[in-house]
Chain A
Amino acid sequence: MTPMRRKGLGPLILIAPAAVLLGVFLVLPYLNIVVMSFRMPGQGTPYGPGYTIGNYTKFFADSFYLLQVANTLWIGLVTTAICLVVGFPVAWQLARGAMRFRALAYGLVLSPLLVGIVIRSYGWTILLGNAGLINRMLTGMGLIDRPLPLMYNALGIVIALVHVFLPFMILPIMAAIQGVDPSLESAARSLGASRFTAFRRIVLPLCTPGIQAGCILVFVLSLSAYVTPSLIGGLRVKTMAVTVVDALIDTFQWPWGSALALMLSATGALCVVIFARLTRMKWKVARP
């Protein structure tokens, strides 16, 4: 891969600005936030003198926060599962469908990504609110007497999160399916496999990397989503990211906020590792 590699420090100039930027504005801040999470809480200041592990023991001792982490993980899990189920057929159609409409369909999947997350969440508040479009239509048709509780609960958050992150599920799966040669399926069919068997034994294992990538992406993004849960969930349903940001913006408890943010990220990372292990195992089992 390196036929043009030259000796000397010359080429290093190319990577130096990026290295400095990432070192100063990514590595140092992350080291700093780890240190911050061990600082003493301050009285009227963001943090006090000295160090403690109290911020972490507080987290594990209080069932309120553990429950909230569980709640956040659950919302992330459901969002990911729905994205997978809803997105897979669309990815399939995009990868194998008629050529004529593919560019248009691809544009339709991409277009929500070009609209800011605040605007998209705002759109959902217009649709899902008690006096929102959906409830107005249903009451107008005489189907319901009272507005359905679609907003200010986990249901509304999941609906909006699925919308926000669906393209991140569809695009990697589409890329994976495009990489599977359709003749492999035909070969399996000609050897007597049913359509379902050919799909399960040939296509699905081959596009597993795309499914894994999509799932991890959607899960991680929905864990750290702030705008959507904040606007749709209101004050009643709070996810971890909302609690963390509010703890920092409203109360200036820096060490506590740092510990919370790190615990949320660590939990997310742990889930991804477990997911990767589990799916890889299944994949091996699925192979003959």
Chain B
Amino acid sequence: MKRPVLTLYCLLVYAFLLAPILVVVGASFNAGNFLTFPPQGLSLRWYVTFFHNDVFMRAIRTSLWVAAVATVISGTIGTMAALYYVQHAGRWKEAVRIAMLAPLLLPEVLTAIALLFFVYAIGIGTTTMIGMVAGHVLITLPFVFINVSASLESFDPSWDMAARSLGADRLTRFRRIMLPLIKPGVIGGALFAFIISFDTFTISFMLKGIGTSTLPIQLFDYLRTNFTPEAAAVSTVSIALTLVVVIVSEKVLGLRIHRF
């Protein structure tokens, strides 16, 4: 190690970053009725409680459903927009970029409140999932756009011209040249969209209807009144779900995620 002080400092910061997450995972195996330290023995009882808790199980299903729908929609729309941005936007390029990143730049609280009033103003309210899905698509769209346009940056227009001069039609050129190039970006963007949607709070909190709470909302409500380690078990399962999604896509698809 060249600079021991700097290395030690960084290790401390990494410990700080991981501490609350590790504490939650550790607390979920606590056998006691409350979050006590040291834990009163190890047990999986809170996982059993959680798996028999219909409210939480329904919330997980809602979360996965909303995340899947939002990912498909924003993956499609975002990829198309990224293609336009890199290849056709011309002098509107900067304007398109800012518009696509707008949901990320605007405060999420304000967007959530504005959407809530809007769904009531147009008369659909929160009885359907339209408002919530629209909100999730909105906040995940920038991540798809960033990832796909980043993967298109390396695109050299002369490849397309070369293929054209060799007689390839438009569809073939898209399928054989463009698609392999943007594939990692699309998958990375969709992966990020899924995780963001699965974890997002404010949008879901404002736009939830009766019985359509997502997992973060249900967890938040639970934490306001309860102190049992069941919340830790719920959190651990949620973290594990995210990890599985990330690891599977990293190992199987070997992708790189661009977040910035």
Q: Which A residues contact B (CB, under 8 angstroms)?
A: 1-6, 11-15, 17-19, 21-22, 25-26, 28-30, 32-33, 36, 46, 86-87, 89-90, 92-93, 97-98, 105, 108-120, 122-127, 131, 133, 136-137, 160, 163, 166-167, 171-172, 175, 220, 223-224, 226-227, 231, 241, 244-245, 248, 254, 257-258, 261-262, 264-265, 268
Contact = CB atoms under 8 A, between A and B. Distances in A.
Contacts, number: 236
A254 B124 CA distance: 17
Given A25-B135, A36-B117, A166-B17, A90 B10 contact: yes
B78 A18 contact: yes
A244 B10 contact: no
A137 B108 CA distance: 37
10 tightest Cβ-Cβ pairs between the two chains A and B: A123-B20, A116-B199, A224-B107, A29-B118, A29-B114, A11-B88, A14-B84, A18-B81, A15-B84, A33-B114
A30 B117 CA distance: 10
18 contacts: A5-B88, A17-B77, A18-B80, A18-B100, A28-B118, A33-B114, A93-B10, A97-B7, A111-B17, A114-B195, A120-B20, A122-B219, A175-B260, A223-B107, A224-B109, A231-B223, A244-B109, A264-B109
A5 B109 contact: no
B67 to A, nearest CB: 12
A78 B214 CA distance: 32
B90 interface: yes
B103 A26 contact: yes
Contact of B235 (A119, A175, A224, A261): A119
Nearest to A257: B113
B6 interface: yes
B20 A126 contact: yes
B123 interface: no
Given A28-B118, A245-B109, A265-B107, A115 B88 contact: no
Given A11-B84, A28-B118, A175-B260, A112 B216 contact: no
B102 A4 contact: no
B162 interface: no
Contacts of B259: 110, 113, 171
B72 interface: no
Q: Which of B2, B20, B23, B235 has the most chain A CB atoms inside 10 A of its CB? A: B20
A15 B219 contact: no
A4 B36 CA distance: 64
Contacts of A4: 87-88, 157, 160
A164 B243 CA distance: 18
A226 B260 contact: no
Interface in B129-180: 134-135, 137-138, 141, 157, 160
Nearest to B87: A4
Interface residues of B, number: 81
Contact of A245 (B37, B117, B205): B205
Nearest to B218: A118
A30 B113 CA distance: 9
Given A22-B99, A92-B6, A123 B24 contact: yes
B50 interface: no
Contacts of A226: 109, 201-202, 205
B88 A6 contact: yes
A119 B21 contact: yes
Contacts of A33: 110, 113-114, 117-118
Contact of A124 (B10, B20, B88): B20
B246 interface: yes
Given A3-B157, A22-B102, A119-B216, 9 more contacts: A26-B106, A33-B110, A33-B114, A87-B13, A89-B9, A98-B1, A114-B246, A136-B37, A264-B110
B59 to A, nearest CB: 12
B110 A224 contact: yes
Given A18-B80, A105-B14, A29 B216 contact: no
Contacts of B24: 119, 122-123, 126
A57 B206 CA distance: 26
B242 A227 contact: no
Contact of B201 (A15, A118, A131, A136): A118
B35 interface: yes
A122 B231 contact: yes
B18 A108 contact: yes
B101 to A, nearest CB: 11
Contact of A122 (B6, B10, B223, B243): B223
